[in-house]
Chain A
Amino acid sequence: MAPLLLFLAVTYLWPFLGVVKWSFTLPEPGLGQYGALITDPLVQSVFIRTLRICIVVTIASVIAAYAITVVWVRGTPAQRMAAEFCILIPFWISVLTRAFGWVALLSNRGLINTWLQGIGFISEPLALVRNEFGVIVGMTHFLVPFAVFPLASAMRNLDDRVLLAARGLGSSRTRTFWTIFVPMTASGIIGAAAIVFVFALGFFVTPAILGGGRSVMVAELVWLRIFQSPDWGLGAAISVVLVLFVGALMAVLFRYVRPRQLI
């Protein structure tokens, strides 16, 4: 334990303290950068967009993951295999490859637009990428597998007899799913949503590629401030706020869900 903590301190905490220092000292000592955070309309619009994207991505990922997990945990052996592939294959492909894959699918001359135009369904290509939609699709695709594990552990802990009991008492399969199965896996849903949301907040590569510079999220904004328009103080202040926000979120979450339920 001790060497691990030391390693984490040296590689994460020490550099982060450096970032904190910049946020209070660059370009001049004081709280000026935090003041700018509150007043700068660009920073605010990025924060709001980031929250919006993260919420949509969280909802989409958890719903998709829930469907896959139900099949994975409760399906026939063949269905289980298929679900396992859906969950595991994305892990073997790098985030970069996947982002460009989505560009190839969604761009104006991409597979989807060509096909839709080919069958005469649309005349002008749909704007599917280089906007928020593309970012949401790409991020959801990346994050679904991470939502699967907390859901699977909740579904595996569920006693089958409770579902049988509901059916025996006259409840249809659909009703049993909504009134018994879903509420009984609520802890998994909360865990999955938390993981996805926290991951999504810090996303960089996917929004940078699929957003095409038009849907900048917080992490990309930090990068822009530090590497493009050198404004290290503001970039550092944004980073500090992001880390504090994630920390607070985790603290609230761990009050309600035990860490064990997340994996």
Chain B
Amino acid sequence: MPKNARAAEIKAIGIGKSFGHFRALNDLTLDIGRGEFLALLGPSGSGKTTFLMILAGFLPPSDGRLFSDGVDITDRPAELRAAGMVFQGYALFPHMSVEANIAFPLKVRKRPAAEIRQRVAEMIARVGLKGHETKLPSQLSGGQQQRVALARALVFEPGVLLLDEPFSALDKSLRGQMQAEMKRLHQETGTTFVFVTHDQSEALALASRIAIFNHGELLQVGTPEEVYDRPANRFVAEFLGEINMLPLNNVRQENGAATGLCEDRTITVRGATDVTGDAVLAVRPEYMTIRSEAESGENGIVATTTASTYLGAATKLDLLTRQGTRLTVSVPNDVAATALRGGNSVWLTWPAERGILLAR
């Protein structure tokens, strides 16, 4: 990734936002690195847009300070922050052509006409809008409008690009294509990107780091691998993809591993965690294997198959443990067929380092 000197480094310290008595954001502290591609991920109403609006300067925070490259910008109005923003629904200027839309931020900055013409043409080529220069936004498809919005937000080389659910209005195939383009634009420009999404697969695929929100709280920030494999709590674990949860009792920590009891069997969990007592063990379905027997000392649990769903490349099995916990695994079709033939009762096993121990 080319280092971009203009890319901004943002520091949010203790940011809070209240609407009347309603607390939409609470004590949010977050560092956004230079040239980073950060995803803000969370369910509807969790405060993602609110935080983005505070970053852009459209909403004043109720508490906390915001710094850009070490300068306090909390009270700086939006028009002086030089953040590019792509809104949900794009918010293009309907009475201006594609060219005029993209030229707008440069005109506002009173750049010379020749420079404007050249940069707009460059940007139009870069987002693949050649031949559409004189059209109005209403004459463009959704994907093309999206590209105009991106071009308009990037043409003035902002320190940070903010995107609010940029792909939610696009159909699935177009979304994939635009995601790839956005990744390329990020690499080419080297600008700091912050984008909001409530699609966890989009966040995992695009972002260099993910910040997970719920009820106005920032729950965890980390690389996709960190938040997926080492979720900080049950919410994050369940929000990012499918996960199986098993109660794990009498958890004790000894020499770098935790052991506990799950349905009369001793289970070992390896990895950094300090949970003790009664806890929850979380295991991603893809790390679970179906076997007819488990070796002694191996992590495993007995379950019976209750349903199977053929997915084409694999089969999804729904299972029930003896004490009534529901589990799901995705296995190769032939393994599923064997499991279903063998009287339904099977062993599910997983490596000790794949277990995630969470407070109950």
Contact = CB atoms under 8 A, between A and B. Distances in A.
B287 interface: no
A76 B105 CA distance: 29
A167 B58 CA distance: 9
A159 B105 contact: no
A198 B39 CA distance: 56
Interface string A183-224: 110100000000000000000000000000000000000000
B51 interface: no
A181 to B, nearest CB: 11
Contacts of B108: 169-171, 175
B93 A166 contact: yes
Nearest to B53: A164
Given A183-B95, A186-B95, A169 B58 contact: no
A168 B56 contact: yes
A173 B77 CA distance: 11
Given A162-B93, A180-B93, A183-B95, A167 B79 contact: yes
Interface string A66-88: 00000000000000000000000
A188 to B, nearest CB: 13
A184 B94 contact: yes
A163 B109 CA distance: 17
A167 B105 CA distance: 9
A172 B107 CA distance: 12
B85 A165 contact: yes
A183 B136 CA distance: 14
Contact of A170 (B87, B91, B156): B156
A161 interface: yes
Contacts of A159: 89, 91
B348 interface: no
B89 A161 contact: yes
Contacts of B156: 169-170
A169 B104 contact: yes
Interface residues on B, range: 20 to 34
Interface string B302-333: 00000000000000000000000000000000
Interface in B118-163: 152-153, 156
Given A161-B87, A164-B78, A165-B87, A170 B93 contact: no
Nearest to A158: B94
Contact of B85 (A168, A171, A173): A168
B107 to A, nearest CB: 9
Given A169-B105, A183-B95, A164 B79 contact: no
A106 B105 CA distance: 49
B95 A184 contact: yes
Contact of B79 (A161, A162, A168, A184): A168
A165 B91 contact: yes
B40 interface: no
Interface string A31-65: 00000000000000000000000000000000000
Contacts of A168: 56-58, 78-79, 81, 83-85
Contact of B105 (A161, A170, A173, A183): A170
B91 A171 contact: no
B261 interface: no
Contacts of B105: 169-171
Contacts of A186: 95
Interface in B61-112: 77-85, 87-89, 91-95, 104-105, 108-109
Nearest to B85: A168
Contacts of A180: 93
Residue of B94, B108, B152, B153 most packed against chain A (CB within 10 A) = B108
B89 A166 contact: no
B91 A167 contact: no
B95 A170 contact: no
Interface of A: 159, 161-162, 164-173, 175, 180, 183-184, 186
Given A168-B58, A169-B105, A170-B109, 11 more contacts: A159-B91, A161-B91, A164-B56, A164-B58, A164-B87, A165-B87, A168-B57, A168-B85, A169-B79, A169-B84, A171-B79
> Which A-B residue pairs are the 5 nearest by beta carbons?
A169-B105, A161-B91, A165-B91, A168-B85, A170-B108
